[in-house]
Structure 1
Amino acid sequence: MSAFETAEYRERVQRVNANMEAAGIDTLVVLSQAHMSYLTGYEG
């Protein structure tokens, strides 16, 4: 079960996407389990 509502994760990803677009970045590679969990709620 996620620590936050689905909407919270959706907002986090939207903020990341907006920041990437502003910086001209096309691709994000997430290697850290902690960062993946922050963005998606997945803790597997």
Structure 2
Amino acid sequence: MRRAGDRVVATGHMAPHAGRQKPDAVRHFGGGGATVSRFS
């Protein structure tokens, strides 16, 4: 779960649409697993 959270943060920071997904990523950060599945 720790790796998943880190991956989501890196993706959101590098992704071009990070601005729009930034709030979502932070909110989903608590889920982690769900965030990775949706991000992927």
* TM-score clears 0.5: no
Which TM-score applies when normalising by structure 2?
A: 0.44
Which TM-score applies when normalising by structure 1?
A: 0.41
